[in-house]
Amino acid sequence: MQYEDRVDALVAPKGALEMLSQNEIARLSEESGSLYDLFHRCALAILNCGSDSDDPEAVMEEFKDFDIQVIQQERGVKLQLKNAPSSAFVDGKMISSVREMLFSVLRDIIFTEHEYNLASGLENASSEKLTNVVFELLRNAEVFRRIQSPDMIVCWGGHSIARHEYDYTKKVGHELGLRELNICTGCGPGAMKGPMKGAAIAHAKQRIKDGVYLGLTEPGIIAAESPNPIVNQLVIMPDIEKRLEAFVRAGHGIVVFPGGAGTAEEILYILGILLHPKNADVPFPLVFTGPTESADYFEQIHAFIGDVLGAEAQSKYRIIIEDEVEVARVMKQGMEDVLQYRKAHQDAFYYNWKLHIPEEFQHPFEPTHEKVRELNLHFGQETHLLAADLRRAFSSIVAGNVKAQGVAYIKEFGPFEIHGDKDLLAKLDSLLQAFVHQQRMKLPGSAYVPCYRVVTE
C-alpha cells in the first residue's frame, strides 16, 4: 500500500561504501535474519529523524509496510526503499544528511558483523581487547582527526526535556562553539540536539567550515532517539557499553544537562571510572549544568551521589547553574589541562588510551529479570564497583522504557525488581520518583507506566 506521506526511492551512496561482497548483500537481504532486522530497524530510525515519538514499537507499527533492500549494480550498490517516511525527502529527493547517516548505518553494521562475532567472540575478551575494539570501530567510521589541541566536548542529557532546558543547551553549545570546540552527543533530540545547534551557529560566526557534530548511538536505542539532522558524523556502536566507552575515549570533557534514567546511567558510568584509583591523576573536566529552573534537579543528583558514592565522587564535577559562559570557559580551560597531560604522558589527542576502564564497565549487560535481581546494590564494596552496578540498574530502566527487547521483557514478565540495601534503595527510589514527577522518563504528555519496582521491604 502506498501512503500519501510515504516515498519509494532508489538511493546511491555518496563517496563511500559503494562496494559490498555478494555474501554481505545476501545476509542483508535475508528478511528472516537478525542482520536484516537490525539494518531495517536502524534505517527506519534514520529516515524517521525529527519524529516526536520515543516508542520504538509505535514507530515500527506506523511504518510496518516500510521495506529496504540492498541492490547490487554494475557500478556498486544502491538501497531500494519502499514506503519510507516522507520527512526524509524534499521534492522527492533524499536530504543529504539523511543519506549520509543511512549509509553510516550500513557501514557500521557490516564492519561490526564482519570483524567481530559479538554474540560470543568478545564474551571473554580482556579489557585491553575491548578498548581496541572501540578504537577500531571509531577508526573505521573515520572519526579520528589530526588536531593540535583537544577540542571534543561530550554533551549528555535527556531526550525528554522542557523547552527552557532545551534553549539553555543551545546557549551552552553556542558558547562552546565560539571557543572553537566541537560537540559529541548521543545524536538524538533534546539535550543531544541543542548543543549541536548552538555550536553550528557559533562555528558559522567563527567561519569554521569543518565543525564536528559527532553522534554516537547503538541499535537498541536508535529507534527511540532517532538522530537529529545536525549530526555530520554518525557511528552505530554495537551495544551501550561500547557506546559509553566511545564517549570517554573520543571526548576530552563532558557537560551534563538535565535528563532521566539514561543521563543518570551516564553520570554513574563516568564517575565510576574517575573513582578508580588508576585514574586519580587523569584530567577529565566534568560539569553539570542547566537553567535556574533545573537547580533542584541537580541538587537531587548531587545529594544522591553524596549519599551513595560519597564526597570523593562529588569532587569529580562542578555544578554551574544558568551560566553558559562559565561552562564554556571551564571546558576551554579543561582542554588545556588535558593537552598538558596528554603531552606529558605521550598519549594521543584523538583517543584517550591512558584512561583506565575496568571490565565491569565494558562487558555488555543485557537486562533480564534475573540479572537485575542479582545486582549488588549494597554498601561495603569498592565505590567504583557500586557505581558499576548502579549504572546497570539505570541501564535496565532505560531498556524497559524504550528498547524493544526490554519493553518485550516487561510485557511478558512484568516490571524489573531492583533489590539491595534498604537505605541505598530508598535513596534510589526517591530519585526515580522525582524523575517520574518531572516527566523525565517519557516525552511530556504521555503517561509513564514504571518498568521497574524498587523492593525496599
**Higher per-residue confidence, 106 vs 230:** 230
Bridge partners, residue 184, by sequence? 154, 214
Give phi and psi for 452, each to the nearest 5. -140, 160
Separation CA 97–CA 244 (nearest Å) = 24
- The confidence score (pLDDT) of residue 116 equals 67
d(CA 445, CA 436): 12
pTM: 0.91
* Residue bearing cell 533530540: 189
Which phi-psi region, left, alpha or beta, contains residue 49 (left: φ > 0; alpha: ψ -120 to 50)? beta
Residue 433: CB atoms within 10 Å: 12
pLDDT average, residue stretch 332-336: 98
Q: What is the dihedral of CA 79, 83, 89, 90, to 10 degrees?
A: 130
Angle 411-261-448 from CA coordinates, rounded to 5°:
45
- The grid cell for 6 is 510515504
Question: Cα–Cα–Cα angle for 301, 305, 307, nearest 5°?
Answer: 115
Alpha helix stretches (DSSP H) within 121-193: 127-140, 163-178
CATH 3.30.1850.10 segments of the chain = 6-115
pLDDT over 60 (residue 120)? no
The set of cell numbers assigned to 393 is: 540498574
> Is the confidence at residue 321, as pLDDT, over 60?
yes
CB atoms within 10 A of CB 341: 16
Average pLDDT over residues 49-69: 75
User: How far, in Å, CA of 93 to CA of 11, rounded?
Assistant: 9
Task: Count the helices and strands in the chain (H runs, E runs).
Answer: 17, 14
CA distance linking residue 393 with residue 22, whole number of Å: 42
74-88, 102-116, 121-135: which has the highest mean pLDDT?
121-135
At 453, give phi and psi (nearest 5°): -140, 120
pLDDT at residue 248 in the model: 98
Q: Is the pLDDT of residue 18 over 90?
A: no
Q: Could you give the 3-state DSSP secondary structure of residue 53? A: coil
For 166-224, write each residue's pLDDT tens digit: 999 999 999 999 999 999 999 999 999 999 999 999 999 999 999 999 999 998 888 77
Stretch 436-452: mean pLDDT: 79
| Pairing relationship of beta strands 89-90 and 93-94 according to DSSP bridges | antiparallel
Average pLDDT over every residue of 418-442 = 91
CA 315 – CA 313 distance, rounded (Å)? 5
Query: Strands, E, within 172-285: which ranges?
Result: 182-185, 213-217, 233-236, 253-256
Banded model confidence at residue 373, pLDDT cuts 50, 70, 90: very high
pLDDT-derived band at 20 (thresholds 50, 70, 90) equals low
Average pLDDT over residues 110-134: 79
Residue 253 in contact with residue 332, Cβ under 8 Å?
A: no
Q: Looking up cell 519509494, which residue turns up? A: 8
* Weakest mean pLDDT among 29-33, 41-45, 122-126, 214-218: 29-33
Q: Identify residue 229 by its one-letter amino acid code.
A: P
CATH topology assigned to domain 6-115: MCP/YpsA-like (3.30.1850)
Q: What single-letter DSSP state applies at residue 180? A: T
Average pLDDT over residues 330-343: 97
Cα separations (Å) of 253 from 156, 186, 456? 11, 15, 36
Asked if residues 251 and 296 have their Cβ atoms less than 8 Å apart, the reply is no
What is the Cα–Cα distance from 431 to 267, expressed in whole angstroms? 14
d(CA 219, CA 69): 18
Rg (C-alpha) for the chain, rounded Å, is 21
**Degrees to nearest 5, angle at CA 401 with 396 and 402:** 105
pLDDT value at 1 more than 50: no
C-alpha cell at 366: 543485557
Q: What is the pLDDT of residue 56?
A: 64
Q: Which three cell numbers stand for residue 280?
A: 586519580
| Mean pLDDT along residues 324-347 | 97
When mean pLDDT is compared across 18-22, 183-187, 231-235, 323-327, the lowest value belongs to 18-22
- Does 74 have pLDDT greater than 90? no
Task: Quote the pLDDT of residue 404.
Answer: 80
What cell does 240 get?
Answer: 551501550
Domain 117-457 has CATH 3.40.50.450: yes
The grid coordinates of residue 259 equal 535528563
Residue 320 in grid coordinates: 554551574
Please tell me the predicted confidence (pLDDT) of residue 49.
76
Range(s) within the chain of domains with CATH label 3.40.50.450: 117-457
Per-residue pLDDT band at 73 (split at 50, 70, 90): low
Burial of 154 (0-12, 13-18, 19+ CB in 10 A): buried
Q: Compute the average pLDDT of residues 304-326.
A: 97
Strands 67-73 and 76-85: antiparallel
The helix (H) or strand (E) run that includes residue 245 is helix 240-250
**Quick check: 267 pLDDT over 60?**
yes
